Each structure stands twice: as structure tokens, then as C-alpha cells.
A and B are shown apart, each in its own frame.
Chain A
Amino acid sequence: MGTAELIWNGVAAFLVMSIYSFLYKDNPFYKFAEHLVVGVSAGYFAMILYYNAFLPKLINPLRAGQYWYIIPGILGLLMWARFSQKWQWLSRPTLGFVIGSGAGVAIPLYLQNYVIRQVHATMLPIGFTSWPLITNVLIIIMVFCALAYFFFSKQHKGAFGAAATFGIWTLMVGFGAGFGMTVMGRVALLAERVVFLRDYFAQLWGALF
């Protein structure tokens, strides 16, 4: 490993430690790292959009004679009308375009995947003769009650209230499970950082002595 690499990794290790110093309390090192990551990442995204969206999707098609790409160009430029107090309403058509496309794409997909598909998957054969069938009964009851919790037309009172309460219990068990499942992934992230620091200090040790 060359000296340059060692220095660069040293910079990285320093930044890693600066972020961890936040765990003790807010301090100048953390402030430095925080402002640096905001600045660098903003610049990074400018670049990604320039090289992956602006150039290949607008400039190159226009150069290739696909003049209809002028439409998104204009829609994009209209956004810059926001810089002027007087003309900023010009940016609204663009806003309409972006929000409209988002909503239009979302509607059928949400219905398909989050409603119909889930409904289909819940229509399970039920019974009390075998464990899988009992499990299906449980799933259906839990889905019912959790859905009842999301009813806005009725106060959570009486039998309906009891169902909604069982629904919220189901949700709580689900949330607990989600939390428990995640601990592992987060620990893995820290483990990777620990390995990075360990390797760096081993290298530094090797280079110095």
C-alpha cells in the first residue's frame, strides 16, 4: 500500500471518528464532518444528475435530432421561473406534470399490489382441523381487526372497538417483529465500520514500525 493510499484512508478514518464523536456530544469535529458531508453530497448529486440525466437524456437525444425532447427541456426551464417573484407561477405546469405522472403511475400499481394482491393472498381456506388451517383463521381475523382500526366512520366503541383494539395489538406485534428484525442489519453496518478502522490501524502500524 502506497503512502497516498495511506493518507487518503487516514482522511477517511479521521472522518469516521469525527462522526462517532457525536455519540459523546455535539462538537467541532462532528460539525465539520456534518457540513462536509452535506456539501460534498450536494455536489455529488449535481454530478450524478448532470452525467446520468441531463447529458444522456436531454443533450444527446437533442443532438441526435430527437427534437421532441425540447418539451422536457422547456418544462425543466420553467422551474427556474421560481427565481423570480413575478414569474414564479410559470413553474406550476411543471409541477402539475411531475405530480400528475407520479399520481398516475401510483394509482394502478398501488391498487394492484397493495390492495388486490393482498386481498387475494388473504383468501385462504380455513378450518380447525389442522395447524395450517388454524393459522389461516388467525391471519384472516388479524387482518380484519387491523383493518377495523383504520375505520374513520365509526367510533372505536363496543364490539367494533374491541376488534380495533385487537387490531392495534396485531400492529404492535408486527412493529415489535420489524424492530427485532432490524437490529441485526444495523449491527452489521457498525461491524463493517469496525473492520474498516481495524484494517486501517493495522496498516498504519505496519507502515510506521
Chain B
Amino acid sequence: MPIISSAELQIQSNNEFFPSNTNVKSNPFFKVLFLFLCFLLIDSPLSFAAEDLSESWFNPNRLNMLIFLILFFAVIIYFIQRAKKGKSLFIRRIAGLDAIEEAVGRATEMGRPVLFVPGIEDVNQIQTVAAMIILGNVAKMVADYDTPLFVPICRPFVVPVAEERVKEGYAAAGRPDAYNRDNVRYISDEQFAYAAGVQGIMLRDRPMANLMFGSFFAESLMLAETGFLTGAIQVAGTANIHQLPFFVVACDYTIIGEELFATSAYLSKEPKLLGSLKGSDLAKAIIIGILALGAILETLGITQFTRWFFIE
């Protein structure tokens, strides 16, 4: 069953700000970039003098950060508003979504459980929040079939959030009765005790689909290898760069870095939130522009531009 319904409608091939057929003047991408670059060619006012700031109310050395932060926020909010107004935004389909669907589909087909591991960090870590958003949708997919969805948890604070998400997912699929509270299990705060507990579930409950999303550390390979041993289809996603190699090696599909957040934006209840992906794309486009310009200016020995990006 599809996990994306309304969001899918937004996907039409209308290009927003990329220069395929648009004229340069009316394109917001070029406008913003142009203004921004003009502004940055002024010499940076940041002095980084070692003065005592313990009595002042603004850190002047972080002026650049403030500007970048406001700009980025504005871009994100602008695109979300645009999406809300019903402007269609083109977002390519993220392959990771198909992988999740396929894994869950196979498990439900065979009547085997689904395992969702939301990482080992607390709910104040953004990756865990993203994992929780994905979890709700996985619950929705599983609800129609009488296969259990196991959610082992490492931090107590994640338990209530996960319980709510799973319950909600089941309710959204019209199967609130199928929700089993005992399947959202707190295991241990200790990394390897947690890994041992999850391995236990893999070995004895034999889930057919292992979905691992969130912030992982050394336990990543332990889980992925044990999952492989039990023959499960594994889809993993994390923004923790140091663990990506292990997921890439041992899982069937790996969602890398930003794709994790993109996947969660896709799966959010509000399809309009996909607008944030557009915002983040615009930011990346600007960053590429800045990098190119910065490298050229640096080569010519002009450093005032680069200095805008210096942080004490």
C-alpha cells in the first residue's frame, strides 16, 4: 500500500528555480544569489579582537552567523508557505521510500514481524525526531496485516513518543485494536546492552524487515550483521557519517545523511512540509555558488569574501 498519497500529487514536473527554461530575471534563485553575493563582497566587519564580551548583549563576531541563520530560515519558511498556497513544487522521488515500502511489504506478505530501530540517542536529537516521523508511517503500513511491529528503544524519553506514533499509525489505518503496547520496548540506555537486546529480538522473533533510522554508533554493524544472519531485508538511514560505511556494506539499502530528513519530510502528515526540501536545495545551490566564488577570489588573493565565513 502506498505511503505517499497527497504528497505524490505535488510531484509534477514544474521546475521552480532551476534554470532549465526559466528566464533569469524572474527566477528567485538568481535574485537571492545575486543580492547575497553583492552584499558579501563588502568587507567583513568582524574583527575577532580579543575583547571581554561578558557584559555585552550581542556577540559582534557572530554577526555573520546571524545573517546566515535568518536567511536560511527565511528560505525554508518561504518555500513552505509557497507549498501551502498550492504552488506545485517538483521534488524527485526518494528511492529510500521504495526500499522501506518493499521491505515492509515483503514482511507483511510472509506474515513475519517488522522491526524498527530508532537509533540510540534521545528525543532531543533531531535524527530521532525524524525517525519517529518515519515510524508513524511504518505503523500505518503494518497495521492492516496482523504482523507485529517491534520498536526496541534505548532512551526512556523516546518510549512515549514512539508509543504515540505507533498508536496513531494504527488508528490512521483504521486498526486501533491491532496496536499492542508491549511491542514498544524500552531495553537499556547502555549502548551494547541495547544492541544485545535488539539482537535477541532479531534472533528469536525473526523479523523479516529491519528498519534502522536515527542516530547510530558502534552498534550499527552489530545490528546489521545479525540482521543479515536472520535473513531480513534491511533498510537503514542515519546522518552519523562514521556509521554510514557499515550500513552501506551490510544493509540492502542505505539512506544517507540529508536523505533521512528528506524521507521524514516526505512521510510527514503535512505534504506541504516538503517545501522545506526546496528551501534546503536552494541553500545548497547558493553554497555551491559561494564555494566557487570563494575559491576563485582566494586564488586571486582577495580574502574579504572568505572572511565572512570565518567563525572564531
Contacts and interface: CB of A to CB of B under 8 A. Distances in A.
A194 interface: no
Could you say which of B123, B160, B192, B204 has the most chain A C-beta atoms within 10 Å of its C-beta?
Answer: B160
A102 B284 contact: no
Contact of A112 (B160, B280, B311): B311
Given A37-B196, A98-B123, A175-B244, A116 B64 contact: yes
B298 A123 contact: yes
Given A45-B188, A119-B290, A126-B295, A178 B309 contact: no
A154 interface: yes
Nearest to B159: A82
Contacts of B294: 119, 122-123
A144 interface: yes
A37 B39 CA distance: 58
A103 B126 contact: yes
A106 B160 contact: no
Could you say which of A125, A140, A143, A155 has the most chain B C-beta atoms within 10 Å of its C-beta?
Answer: A125
Interface residues of A, number: 59
Contacts of B98: none
A98 B157 CA distance: 9
A22 B195 CA distance: 13
Given A147-B287, A171-B256, A175-B244, A124 B298 contact: yes
Contact of A119 (B129, B157, B287): B287
Given A116-B311, A120-B306, A125-B299, A41 B69 contact: no
Nearest to A22: B199
Contacts of B299: 125-127
Given A152-B281, A153-B16, A119 B242 contact: no
B200 A34 contact: yes
Could you say which of B90, B193, B248 has the most chain A C-beta atoms within 10 Å of its C-beta?
Answer: B193
A116 B68 contact: yes
Interface string A147-182: 110111111100000000000000110011011001
B125 A102 contact: yes
Contacts of A178: 241-242, 244-245
A107 interface: yes
A156 B160 contact: no
Contacts of B92: 152-156
A178 B238 CA distance: 15
Contacts of A115: 68, 287
A34 B291 contact: no
B203 interface: yes
A108 interface: yes
Contacts of A148: 288
A101 interface: yes
B173 interface: no
A117 interface: yes
A186 B15 CA distance: 47
Contacts of A147: 284, 287-288
B288 A144 contact: yes
Interface string A87-111: 0100100010011011100111001
A45 B126 contact: no
A150 B262 CA distance: 10
Contacts of B69: 107-108, 111
A202 interface: no
A169 to B, nearest CB: 13
A41 B190 contact: yes
A104 B292 CA distance: 31
B161 interface: yes
Contact of B248 (A44, A103, A175): A175
B112 interface: no
A101 B258 CA distance: 22
Interface string B184-215: 00011110110011011001100000000000
10 contacts: A42-B188, A45-B190, A98-B157, A112-B65, A117-B311, A123-B305, A125-B298, A150-B258, A150-B259, A151-B284
Top 3 nearest A-B pairs (CB, nearest first) are A102-B124, A123-B294, A41-B190
Given A122-B294, A179-B249, 7 more contacts: A38-B197, A79-B160, A95-B123, A120-B306, A140-B292, A151-B281, A151-B284
